[in-house]
Amino acid sequence: MRQFIHGIAENNHYQATHLLQILRQIQSRYHYIPEAAIEQLSGLLSIPRTQIISVIEFYSFFHLTPRGRYELLISDSITDHMLGKKDLLDYLAKKLAVAVGAVREDGLVSLENTSCTGMCDQGPAGLVNGYALTRLDRSSIDKIVELVNQQKPLDEWPKELFLVNDNIYKSGLLLDRQMEQGAALKSAFKRGVKATLAEVDKSGLRGRGGAGFKTATKWQFCSEEQQSVRYVVCNADEGEPGTFKDRVLLNSYADQVFEGMTVCAAIIGAKQGFLYLRGEYLHLYDKLQSILNQRRQNGLLGTNILDQGLDFDIEICLGAGAYICGEESALIESLEGKAGIPRNRPPYPVTQGYLGKPTVVNNVETFLAAASIAVNGGDWFADIGTEKSKGTKILSISGDCARPGIYEYPFGTTIQTVLNDCGADDVLGVQVGGPSGTFISNQEFDRKLAFEDLATGGSFIIFNSSRNILDMVHNFTHFFAHESCGFCTPCRVGTSLLQKQIDKIVEGHGSAGDVVALEELCQLVKNYSHCGLGQTAANPIITTLERYPDLYQNRLKEISYEPGFDLDGALTTARRMANRDDAGAHLAQTDAFGSRPVASLPPSLAVGE
């Protein structure tokens, strides 16, 4: 092991910034990070062992105790649940004879839930040793169980288990044609980089991750910083449940994305770029590397690109299972080999980003669009869309519709149009922008996709009238509690309290005061959290409480109060150990006061009357 670890550290030039990539290799080889490896790395990388441990504990894909040699993770996205995930997981656990969350006694296999793996159009989905599994059903699970038990190496598993389709159903401005390799760079150099920035400005392009900051402005700010070193980062940590467009863009349009990054580098004067690829998209890694190599051979990356004196190269860094790393400053921390905890902003990454240097971080789709704009000019893009939202938006559509997949629409398109195109009938509502976005009811389908109305990073999950909205709220709220980075108290504690309170209501233990308490908690988490995760974690509850107050009220008991857990059940262990079963060894769930109807309570609590 010493030799193996030394080898990896050497390949990574003993750089602590490569800690994540190093740990990924160790986890992949040993199925956990052994204590001895931590000690050794601490010496080789000159960082404290506690720092390494904090990184291991932060990311879901790293473990301090051994996982199975076949590590199976099943996606827990609401879309997987809608496709029957729960039954399949139970079936898989039974067939493998391993509990969810555990390692089988022989150490061969472990099974666990994981946050959305970005296969919502072809779920239920999962990962085996990091590689995506799609369209799981009982027969594919039978096959997987057999392969695991036979200890077949992963590369001998049938390819169809790993088949990932693009499912592009509607293309527009960007997806209509594949750009010729090098076209954007040639146009940019011919026009001049300053003039190209002016075209990007004229196009009105805004960031496609959801926040919508004007791209040209970001690039301009970065280029104006008085620093000699700058970086370009492509954010492909597509973690918002229900989003998978970047997966498709990187599978079929990667050349154009890399070209957009290179154009950006030419404009701002960067020599190094990074593609931060979410760990769940490991299946794309080799393909992307070969595209980068090809671009180097064709003089589109490396030194003196197209003989224009531009030196620029791109490195791919894989994430390790942390939704928060989609937040740009957390992503930069992660790129630096640290836990993905969001930084204070300002300073923004354009002034102090990667290693404290000016850094442009943009979404995959933003770079794709920028490359097209470099070729076709700003007007070509700005002619389409609305006044404040130019161009098109690529949507990842999933949930209850006939054709889940990728759809490209001009901004300003109504939700109803989208629903008609993808074959969604009997729709109850749509979650636009993922769990951190907005739930809209079927009374609002005339609303438009646009930054000024419904802003979205691309997630579009459809629910038909057979669905229970509270199941969705429950799933999303648990997601945020799991993904909170733990840095600030309002989010770390708040998301867990939200989860507890929503569980209480969904499980039917709630009473009138509980919804009031829930609303207060939502405001607290929203208003006091450090970053966007906490600020949006209550959105699923807030947006549905607003639209469907009755759904919540109907779950409430008409009594003044009841505990949210089984009170008598909480005495089970003590009863068994004390060997008691007398009346004093039991508790009623509510007492006379608690079970009084709400209406019978005194209206005023004034004292001294």
Partner 1 sequence: MANKIRVATTSLAGCFGCHMSFLDIDERMLQLAEVVEFDRSPITDIEHCTNCDIGLIEGGVCNSENVHVLREFRNNCKILVAVGACAINGGLPAMRNHIPLEECLNEAYLDGIGVENPKIPSDIELPLLLDQVHPIHEIVKIDYYLPGCPPSADVFWKFLTDLIEGREPSLPYELVHYD
- Sites of contact with partner 1 (CB under 8 A): 513, 560-561, 563-565, 567, 570-575, 577-580, 582, 584-585, 587, 591-594, 602, 605-608
Q: Are 277 and 233 in contact (CB under 8 A)?
A: no
Q: Which of 150/577 has CB closer to partner 1?
A: 577
Residue 438, CA atoms < 13 Å, CB-side half-sphere: 17
Q: Which of 20/518 has CB closer to partner 1?
A: 518
CB of 341 to partner 1, least distance (A): 21
Secondary structure (3-state) at 313:
strand
Residue 492 token pair: 């770390």
Burial 107-140 (b: 16+ CB within 10 A, else e): eebbbbbbbbbbbbbbbbbbbbbbbbbbbbeeeb
Give the phi and the psi of residue 582 in degrees, each rounded to 5.
-75, 170
Q: Are 24 and 59 in contact (CB under 8 A)?
A: no
Residue 119 token pair: 């296969």
Q: Which of 155/606 has CB closer to partner 1?
A: 606
- CB atoms under 10 Å from CB of 559, counted, come to 16
Distances (CA, A) of 367 to 235, 275, 364, 381, 448: 10, 11, 5, 14, 24
Cα–Cα distance, 595 to 53 (Å, whole number): 49
Q: Which of 479/561 has CB closer to partner 1?
A: 561
Written in H, E and C, the secondary structure of 480-498 is HHHHCCCCCHHHHHHHHHH
CB of 602 to partner 1, least distance (A): 7
Give the phi and the psi of residue 125 in degrees, each rounded to 5.
-125, 170
Q: Which of 550/582 has CB closer to partner 1?
A: 582
Q: Which of 94/576 has CB closer to partner 1?
A: 576
Please report the sign of the dihedral spanned by the C-alpha atoms of residue 331, residue 336, residue 340, residue 344.
negative
CB of 588 to partner 1, least distance (A): 9
Q: Which of 154/578 has CB closer to partner 1?
A: 578
CB of 578 to partner 1, least distance (A): 4
Distances (CA, A) of 69 to 130, 225, 282: 12, 48, 17
Strand pairing category for 359-363 and 231-236 = parallel
Q: Which of 512/551 has CB closer to partner 1?
A: 512
CB of 607 to partner 1, least distance (A): 4
Question: How long a stretch of residues is the chain?
Answer: 609
CB of 563 to partner 1, least distance (A): 5
For 185, the enclosing helix (H) or strand (E) is helix 183-191
CB of 101 to partner 1, least distance (A): 16
Q: Which of 66/594 has CB closer to partner 1?
A: 594
CB of 561 to partner 1, least distance (A): 4
CB of 424 to partner 1, least distance (A): 41
